[in-house]
Structure 1
Amino acid sequence: MDDLYSPYTALLYIFNLIVGTGALTLPKAFSEAGWLFSSVVIVFISFISYVTATFVIEAVAICNALNQWEKLEKMKRVSRYLRLTVDTVETSDDDDISDTEDSLMLPAAYIENFPSEPKRLFTLDIKCELSEMATTLFNKGGQLFFYICVCLYLYGDLTIYSAAIGKTLVDLTCTTMPNVTENDHCWVTYDFSRRSIYQLYLGCFLMLFGPFVFFNIQKTKYLQFITSVTRWLAFTLMIGLAIARIADSSKAHGHPELAVASGLPALLGSCVYSFMCHHSLPGLLAPVSDKSKIFTHLALDYSAILIFYLTLALTALFAFPSLDDLYSLDFIPTGSAWSVAAGIFLTSFPIMTLTTSFPIISVTLRSNLQAIFSSCDWWFLRALFVPLLTVIPPVFIAMTTENIETLVGITGSYAGVVIQYVIPASLILVGRKSIPEAISNAPFPYKSPFQSPLWPFLIIIWAFISVVLVTFDLIREKSVRSLIY
């Protein structure tokens, strides 16, 4: 098949999918939690994320087996019914009956022999998205919970994208000043605060890119290629410039602490968000030509991403005395012409990548919202209200705050935790019990390496702990602010 690609191409796609905006928030989160403590936490988070990724792969195979087995059972029932119908036909001649029986017996014979080829049941070759798995394995309440969580996560994504683009535009166009706040003037000669210009940029962004939500658009392979090259170039430049700054004794360096327990909640949100790929994993794996070592290849990919994140975050910690919420904004264009060009490129990096992703995510969110309102017959609700409900709230939420670290923390620690931990664990718990006894002994090459029934429960317990920690931190921060003001 022309659409197939090699396992290593799939690893590249997964790498590009995982490494995105979340990586830009890791250095700030590391600085608040301490470099050693953060390193241990991100290793743990990457392992948990890998475990749940293997759960998603096993769940895909289970759902494919259940769907195929259900079709076979229906074919058996139809075949039996047709054979009974043929037996009642007494007016036909023998040749006609023989021909009819042969044509009707063929699918029945195929069905009866099918279990002798069990490898065709548990397969990853048939594309089965996360929403299809939820429909196959969950009841109506579980399906509604799934769609709500996915929509909340995508809303968080769009809010983060909007805030990152608006903040980047402000830092690129406003006058650069030390210790600047959102209430300071954007330009010395004009009476406009940075906050008002930030909101103006977001309004313009909504007018320009919001209408794309009304159309069905797909990211072309050329646009995907350009975005990937831009991402790799930007992150490579960040690491290289950070190392060069560490080697330059004339510049101020960072002196991060080893561990700060109070920084754990924000770190959890950033780490969870930075390893998110589970919602798109089934679609990426279906076209892989050789899936025999899928878990080994996925482990290699996660290891490479972990090393990359550690390199990016640790070089940032020791290179800069203080860090911005969005790491790309720490590379202010100054110095030589080359440094200015590199600074402009890195500072504008979120704009170049996120503006191409915003329409794609908004269309995905619109489709999920329409699925929730699928039972409604009011065409204007699904055709007009739902698209507006998709793009307007996240941009308006972004207008209220440009604290990207908090947005990432909330998105990753709530909706992200559910999608990355709770849903895969639930799919496995329900899926393993749903396998019919007739195919329970069939060869299953895509079983997760973590077969103990304790693993899904441990994952859910960890998800609960993460949510409690983040909620406690948010309440504590709100209490501190109320005391100050």
Structure 2
Amino acid sequence: MAAEFGKDHVSIQVLTETGAQYSQVVGFVYVFNLIVGTGALTMPAAFKEAGWLLSLLAIILLAFVSYMTLTFVTETMAISNAKLRLQQVLSQSSREESVDVSVNVDERQPLLKPKVVYTDVSPSFEITQRVEMGTMAAMFFNRVGMVFFHLCIIIYLYGDLAIYAAAVPKSLRDVVCTYGGNNGTSNQTLSDDDHCWPHVSLNRMNAYRIFVAVFVLLLGPFTFFNVQKTKYLQILTSLARWTAFLMMIALTCIRLAEGKGQGHPVIADIAGVPNLFGVCVYSFMCHHSLPSLITPIRNKSRLLSVLAGNYSLILVFYLVLSFTAVFSIGNIQDLYSLNFSPHGTEPVTSVVPIQYFLALFPVFTLSTSFPIISITLRNNLTAMLTPRQGHLPWYVPKVVCPLLVLIPPVAVALGTNKVEVLVGITGSYAGAGIQYVIPAVLVLLARRDTLAVAGGYLHRSPFSHRAWVILTLIWACICINFVTVNYIISNL
């Protein structure tokens, strides 16, 4: 079987079984839980930096574009299902008729040899087979496209690992380091050069690096083996995440209702837009894992409406989380949960158990995902390095690839603990490729397939005009160039 990719995972294999099926409501919840994760914790800081009004307009636009490309993925899945069914039908008859079917066909190429009548076969476009994004790329992309696809996924996974390797130690550092808390200056900003503990020479940055080392020593060895996330672990992490998010919103709302809000965000600041773009792309990402979530849904008659409802609710959630944060807290940390730390300079709540729970919940939720993503990346690096004819020496998949997985993100985490910047860069480049470029090109090529030329099939995107695809690609180029230029200028 081929290796897997993903935010939690992206597979390049075709699975004819869909697993246990579930209702649209359950599918709605699964998609919602997949999208809302680490990105939500960096949203308030990015929101404040770009200004509340500019951020409001930007996040609405980015949510719309993200949903549009999500419908591109859904449509490509439908066409891919139809192609696979046709290939299965023809493979059964090939024993008698020797039919040769091309994997990549377009309207200018005959699908079947002359002796087979195409109109005799009417494959359904219903999504019943789990066709992952990697499989769709293999069906419609050429060699250059596959290289681009692999690079986007691998860079995205490296970014994920770097974010986790920085977010967990930073959360631990801010809970353990006691210097600077409750010192009478509520808006004081602690720097990495400040002491970790009073009368101890160890500064906060070095304490953070110690936690990075401990984090890697504890979770890094899993990269050399195989583990699987259990159902119960997923349930526990989801409960912890949603309990924490709801607590954050409730606490900030109470603070605003009591007139204790200390946030005074600007209306607009163009300098903060590039990072906001990356954070929003990262925060709305689910395209690469979508097939695994929507294929088991029993009734897909209103699939696009369910996804639209998901994105609308997530947009409202992000806006509520960000607006309550920027108007209630003066100094927002790049990892929002750190604002509730028991040793913070601007405590939002005085209830100690809640302080520790909110500050530490990223430690529990992100630590469970780190081994899964590292193994996913290891498997894909192994697959890319394996020659078409032949095998790799035993030490390459067992030693070299795991080290290639761990060293780059750990090196990045040791160099910086700016989680918001890591999320912004990951979303701006690899995330934009996965969320914008790959879905747009996939649906463009899929619509040229002989099965799809006539149109009128199930799960066709409402953005079916070719202009939407072109606009998406132009939008992606403009955003990536704008982000790049801004990063260069800001570092001159």
TM-score with structure 1 setting the length: 0.88
Where does residue 412 of structure 1 map in the other structure? 427
Given that 1:212 and 1:359 are in contact with CA atoms closer than 8 Å, whether structure 2 keeps it comes out as yes
Where does residue 400 of structure 2 map in the other structure? 385
Closer, same or farther in 2 for the Cα pair 1:454/1:221, shift >3 Å?
same
Q: Deviations over 1:47-88 (max 9, x none)?
A: 000000010011111122222323333333321259xxxxxx
- The 2-side partners of 1:455 and 1:368 are apart by 32
Given that 2:252 and 2:325 are in contact with CA atoms closer than 8 Å, whether structure 1 keeps it comes out as yes
- The 2-side partners of 1:255 and 1:395 are apart by 36
Where does residue 56 of structure 1 map in the other structure? 73
Say yes or no: does 1:258 pair with 2:271. no
Deviation at 1:125, TM superposition (A): 0.9
Say yes or no: does 1:212 pair with 2:215. no
Unpaired stretches in structure 2, ≥5 consecutive residues: 1-17, 100-115, 181-187
Closer, same or farther in 2 for the Cα pair 1:78/1:443, shift >3 Å?
farther
Letter in 1 for 2:72: F
Where does residue 174 of structure 2 map in the other structure? 171
Given that 1:254 and 1:318 are in contact with CA atoms closer than 8 Å, whether structure 2 keeps it comes out as yes
- The 1-side partners of 2:19 and 2:412 are apart by 43
Where does residue 462 of structure 1 map in the other structure? 475
Letter in 2 for 1:234: A
- The 2-side partners of 1:222 and 1:81 are apart by 49
Closer, same or farther in 2 for the Cα pair 1:117/1:77, shift >3 Å?
closer
Q: 1:188 aligns with which of 195, 198, 203?
A: 198
- The 1-side partners of 2:47 and 2:198 are apart by 34
Where does residue 202 of structure 1 map in the other structure? 212
Closer, same or farther in 2 for the Cα pair 1:79/1:338, shift >3 Å?
farther
Deviation at 1:338, TM superposition (A): 6.5
Given that 1:206 and 1:392 are in contact with CA atoms closer than 8 Å, whether structure 2 keeps it comes out as no
Q: Deviations over 1:424-475 (max 9, x none)?
A: 0010111111234xx7548611111110001111111111111111111110
Given that 2:189 and 2:331 are in contact with CA atoms closer than 8 Å, whether structure 1 keeps it comes out as no
Where does residue 164 of structure 2 map in the other structure? 161
Letter in 1 for 2:249: I
Closer, same or farther in 2 for the Cα pair 1:140/1:345, shift >3 Å?
same
Where does residue 109 of structure 2 map in the other structure? none
Given that 2:251 and 2:349 are in contact with CA atoms closer than 8 Å, whether structure 1 keeps it comes out as no
Say yes or no: does 1:151 pair with 2:161. no
Say yes or no: does 1:122 pair with 2:122. no
Q: Deviations over 1:406-436 (max 9, x none)?
A: 1111000000000000000010111111234
Deviation at 1:343, TM superposition (A): 1.1
Q: Deviations over 1:126-179 (max 9, x none)?
A: 001111111111112211211111000010011011111111111000124142
Deviation at 1:333, TM superposition (A): 2.3
Q: Deviations over 1:351-391 (max 9, x none)?
A: 01100111111112112212211215333212221111112
**1:216 aligns to what SS in structure 2?**
coil
Deviation at 1:113, TM superposition (A): 11
Aligned CA RMSD, in angstroms, stands at 2.2
- The 2-side partners of 1:81 and 1:420 are apart by 40
Q: Which moved more, 1:8-17 or 1:382-391?
A: 382-391
Letter in 2 for 1:58: E
- The 2-side partners of 1:127 and 1:374 are apart by 25
Q: 2:323 aligns with which of 308, 314, 327?
A: 314
Q: 1:372 aligns with which of 384, 388, 395?
A: 384
Given that 2:19 and 2:296 are in contact with CA atoms closer than 8 Å, whether structure 1 keeps it comes out as no
**1:141 aligns to what SS in structure 2?**
helix
Given that 1:270 and 1:412 are in contact with CA atoms closer than 8 Å, whether structure 2 keeps it comes out as yes
Closer, same or farther in 2 for the Cα pair 1:442/1:264, shift >3 Å?
closer
Which structure 2 residues correspond to residues 338-349 of structure 1 after superposition, within 5 A? 339-349=351-361
Unpaired stretches in structure 1, ≥5 consecutive residues: 83-111, 480-485
TM-score with structure 2 setting the length: 0.87
Where does residue 300 of structure 1 map in the other structure? 309
**1:5 aligns to what SS in structure 2?**
coil
**1:3 aligns to what SS in structure 2?**
coil
Kindly name which structure, 1 or 2, has the bigger radius of gyration based on alpha carbons.
1
Q: Deviations over 1:192-225 (max 9, x none)?
A: 1111111111111111101111223221111111
Say yes or no: does 1:324 pair with 2:333. yes
Say yes or no: does 1:141 pair with 2:144. yes
Letter in 1 for 2:164: Y
Where does residue 442 of structure 2 map in the other structure? 427
Percent identity, aligned pairs only? 45
- The 2-side partners of 1:237 and 1:39 are apart by 23
Given that 1:373 and 1:382 are in contact with CA atoms closer than 8 Å, whether structure 2 keeps it comes out as no
Given that 2:261 and 2:327 are in contact with CA atoms closer than 8 Å, whether structure 1 keeps it comes out as no
Q: Deviations over 1:20-64 (max 9, x none)?
A: 010011111111111111011100000000000010011111122
Given that 1:144 and 1:372 are in contact with CA atoms closer than 8 Å, whether structure 2 keeps it comes out as no
**2:242 aligns to what SS in structure 1?**
helix
Q: Which moved more, 1:152-161 or 1:183-192?
A: 183-192
Where does residue 52 of structure 2 map in the other structure? 35
Where does residue 93 of structure 1 map in the other structure? none
- The 2-side partners of 1:301 and 1:461 are apart by 26
